[in-house]
């Protein structure tokens, strides 16, 4: 699901690739003037998928290396085109080994990965953002973060040079038991819907697309008073026990 929201164009991008053994899902949310956000997010998605297809990055160091290489590609594109010098993008990547039945994920920025097991939230990424640092420091709660005036201020995203780039990758592959519902999404979705509401929508959904359709309706209802609300994108994957 990828929706324009109330913006003039959609700066989100997403995609996936799979072989018989591996599956890679990636999602990105771009920003920057002169159409740079659209270019940044598409570049991030295509670079991750191409790199993963060449060598599946299903170990933490390999996935981090792939994301750092994607950052270098984005920086090179910025350097080659002065109009794109301010472009950047969040990214979140999910890797699944279908043979060993494990998942691995990594991200940069405030696009998120969610893992629900038996309908309950089991794993969720922590944003690289100002409000997340305030939450971690006990100075803000989740409800306050959603209305904070600087809730969109990131301290890391692709397009960041040197030591200011922060990439988070799960410490080790996560065993899949076949009772999981997984989702990647941009902040245009989660800023309007709590984790509890995402779980509630999951509990009523007969299949993944119904889950995303429910979340879409919830975003549109919650954002009805803000006609220029952000693009929102999500990719969902359910695992069975077969």
The residue extents of the domains of the chain are: 8-238
Provide the pLDDT for residue 162.
82
Long-range own/partner contacts, residues 139-143 (CB < 8 A, 24 or more apart): 142/194, 142/195
| 232-238 and 120-124 beta bridge pairing | unpaired
Distance, in Å, from the CA atom of 120 to the CA atom of 124, rounded to the nearest integer, reads: 11
Structure tokens belonging to residue 236: 């969902």
Question: Residue 242: which pLDDT band, with cuts at 50, 70 and 90?
Answer: low
Q: What whole-number distance in Å separates Cα of residue 132 and Cα of residue 123?
A: 16
Q: How many residues does the chain have?
A: 242
Predicted pLDDT at 33 = 65
Asked if 145 and 151 touch (Cβ cutoff 8 Å), the reply is yes
The β-bridge relationship of strands 180-185 and 232-238 is antiparallel
pLDDT at residue 133, rounded to an integer: 84
Averaged pLDDT of the chain: 92
Q: What is the pLDDT of residue 89?
A: 96
Whether 35 has a pLDDT exceeding 80, the answer reads no
Question: What per-residue confidence (pLDDT) applies to 224?
Answer: 86
Cβ neighbours for 107, distance < 8 A, ≥ 6 positions apart: 90, 91, 92, 93, 113, 125, 128, 167, 168
Least confident interval from 46-55, 156-165, 171-180, 197-206: 156-165
Q: How confident is the model over 202-231, as pLDDT tens digits?
A: 999 999 999 999 999 999 999 888 877 889
The residue among 69 and 144 whose pLDDT is bigger is 69
- What lies within 8 Å, CB to CB, of 109 at 6+ separation is 29, 89, 90, 91, 92, 127, 128, 129, 154, 156, 157, 158
pLDDT grade for 153, boundaries at 50, 70 and 90: confident
Beta strand residue intervals within the chain, DSSP E: 2-3, 12-18, 22-31, 88-97, 102-108, 112-117, 120-124, 168-169, 174-175, 180-185, 232-238
pLDDT greater at residue 151 or residue 185 = 185
The model's pLDDT over 81-119, given as tens digits with 9 standing for 90+, comes to: 988 988 999 999 999 999 999 999 999 999 999 999 999
What is the band of 136 on the pLDDT scale with cuts at 50, 70, 90? Answer: confident
d(CA 173, CA 23): 13
Fold annotation for 8-238:
Phosphatase 2c; domain 1 (3.60.40)
Question: How many other C-beta atoms can be found within 10 angstroms of the C-beta atom of residue 7?
Answer: 15
Percentage of residues of the chain with pLDDT beyond 90: 71
Name the band, by pLDDT with cuts 50, 70 and 90, for residue 34: low
Q: How far is CA 232 from CA 162, 193, 197, in A?
A: 29, 12, 16
Q: Do the beta carbons of residue 68 and residue 75 sit within 8 Å?
A: no
Q: Tally Cβ neighbours within 10 Å of residue 170.
A: 20
User: What are the CA-CA distances from residue 125 to residues 33, 73, 110, 121, 170 (Å)?
Assistant: 28, 24, 9, 11, 9
Examine the pLDDT at 71 and tell me if it is beyond 90.
yes
Higher pLDDT, 47 or 6: 47
């Amino acid at each position: 699901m990828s929706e324009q929201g109330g913006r003039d164009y959609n700066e989100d991008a997403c995609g996936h690739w799979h072989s018989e053994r591996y599956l890679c899902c990636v999602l990105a949310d771009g920003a920057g003037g002169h159409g740079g956000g659209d270019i940044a997010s598409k570049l991030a998605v295509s670079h991750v998928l191409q790199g993963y297809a060449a060598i599946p990055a299903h170990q933490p160091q390999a996935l981090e290396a792939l994301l750092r290489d994607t950052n270098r590609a984005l920086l090179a594109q910025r350097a080659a085109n002065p109009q794109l010098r301010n472009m950047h993008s969040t990214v979140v990547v999910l890797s699944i080994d279908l043979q060993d039945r494990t998942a691995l994920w990594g991200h940069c920025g405030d696009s998120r990965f969610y893992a629900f097991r038996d309908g309950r939230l089991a794993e969720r990424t922590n944003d690289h953002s100002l409000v997340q640092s305030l939450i971690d420091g006990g100075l803000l709660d989740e409800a306050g973060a959603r209305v904070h005036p600087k809730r969109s201020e990131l301290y890391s995203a692709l397009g960041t040079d040197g030591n200011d780039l922060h990439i988070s990758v799960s410490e080790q592959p996560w065993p899949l038991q076949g009772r999981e519902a997984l989702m990647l999404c941009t902040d245009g979705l989660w800023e309007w819907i709590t984790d509890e509401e995402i779980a509630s929508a999951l509990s009523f959904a007969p299949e993944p697309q119904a889950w995303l359709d429910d979340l879409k309706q919830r975003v549109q209802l919650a954002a009805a008073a803000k006609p220029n609300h952000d693009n929102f994108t999500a990719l969902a994957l359910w695992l069975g026990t077969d």
